[in-house]
Amino acid sequence: MRKIIHVDMDAFFAAVEQRNHPELKGKPVIVGGDPDKRGVVSTCSYEARKFGIHSAMASSLARKLCPQAIFIKSNFSDYREVSNQIREIFFEYTDLVEPLSLDEAYLDVTENKFNIKSATIIAEEIRTKVFQKTQLTCSAGVSFNKFLAKVASDINKPNGICVVTPAEASDFINKLPIRKFYGVGKATEKHMKELGIHYGKDLKLFSLEDLVYHFGKSGFYYYKIAHGEDDRPVQTHYERKSLGKERTYAEDILDKELIESKLIEISDKVFDQLTARNLFGNCITIKVKYYNFTQITRSRSFGYLVSEREKLSEVCLSLLQDTEYGRIPIRLLGVSVSGFDLKRELLTEELPKQLYFDFGDDF
Ligand code: TTP
Ligand code: MG
């Protein structure tokens, strides 16, 4: 059985800002978009969370909830520096490190460089070293698979640790509110609650067939995690699955031509980044968020890799035809390309297959 640790920094961007500007300590600090320019909150200090503020909330709403909050622009080079420091600490213990973002990673410490038997001891050592090195706190989850370790790291946040042993797993899952299950977002939570699923124990009552019936492919995942099963290894070489860009505009846009030109702008940026990475994909997705925050995605797949700038923008524009643009004001546009694993030989082959589907929220 594996020994997995999930480490996640506490209020990461905000904590770095409070460390770098001691006058901000103990205060509600919000990192992210300007409330006057329709930005969104990247994260906020725990002092700000007491007011109900959270990541991805409109900054203007955050300011309403807590007028005394201090807004700070993000400083990515500072966050990257800390991120590198904590990764160095992880690598002292194992090479099996899978970073999920700047502030979190999975570690497989089944075998480790100090031959320490207890993953809990390693997690505590890491937390101590992270604090000594960065003056920042983190939280850790320790368990025998990624799913449980990830959920556990959130349980005693901030500056906490939670260990879920094989013997405790079943009870732990029984009591877990379904929103805490990694991968269950707002929409799925609502759907589950309608089915009477509030805690892990309720999810366990559903058969695999039932869950697939209600949730499609994700049903397999929900079934497995409800039973504490997750055999995904800690992946050290993460392969990029998609590349995308999106833009939120200072003012909602209704004008059709303007929207089209904005979309081409994004499409060109994405194309530049793909070219820089020598990547081409066969699936193109656009995302449109309307003024009222409802959002849709439209996708198209090809039997070959799209390798031309004009083709990419042309497909984006044609996908746009299937949205309410020009009728409903738009606040955000996005373009993403995926499906990089088609063989290179297919680069120029023409149209053997065309699929069309709507991803709903899963951009
Ligand atoms: P999280 O680990 O999700 O959040 P956090 O570290 O701020 O707070 P905690 O873990 O204690 O709950 O994300 C890490 C950083 O990623 C966060 O500090 C800012 C950034 N981020 C965004 O920019 N936008 C987002 O929507 C989220 C969730 C995070
Ligand atoms: Mg965090």
pLDDT in tens, 36-83: 888 889 999 999 999 999 998 999 999 999 999 999 999 988 998 999
Q: Which residues line ligand 1 (CB under 6 A)?
A: 8-13, 42-43, 55-56, 101, 103-104, 157-158
- The verdict on whether 104 is a catalytic residue reads yes
* CA of residue 146 to ligand 2 center, whole Å: 16
Catalytic residue among 17, 98, 104, 168: 104
pLDDT of residue 51: 97
Which residues surround the ion ligand 2 when the cut-off is CB under 5 Å? 8-9, 12, 103
- For helices 146-155 and 166-174, the axis angle rounded to 10 degrees is 60
pLDDT of residue 342: 61
* CA of residue 317 to ligand 1 center, whole Å: 33
Nearest CA to ligand 1 atom 5: 11
Q: Are 140 and 126 in contact (CB under 8 A)?
A: yes
What is the CB neighbour count within 10 angstroms for residue 352?
A: 9
Q: Which residue has the tokens 């900054």?
A: 59
Q: Are 306 and 337 in contact (CB under 8 A)?
A: yes
Integer Rg of the chain from CA: 22
* CA of residue 107 to ligand 1 center, whole Å: 19
pLDDT of residue 241: 84
pLDDT of residue 237: 74
pLDDT of residue 28: 97
- Gap between the Cα atoms of 153 and 7, Å rounded: 7
For the chain, the distance separating the N- and C-terminal CA atoms, rounded to the nearest angstrom, is: 34
pLDDT of residue 304: 87
pLDDT of residue 107: 98
Residues of the chain with confidence (pLDDT) below 70: 238, 342-363
pLDDT of residue 238: 64
Q: Are 65 and 24 in contact (CB under 8 A)?
A: no
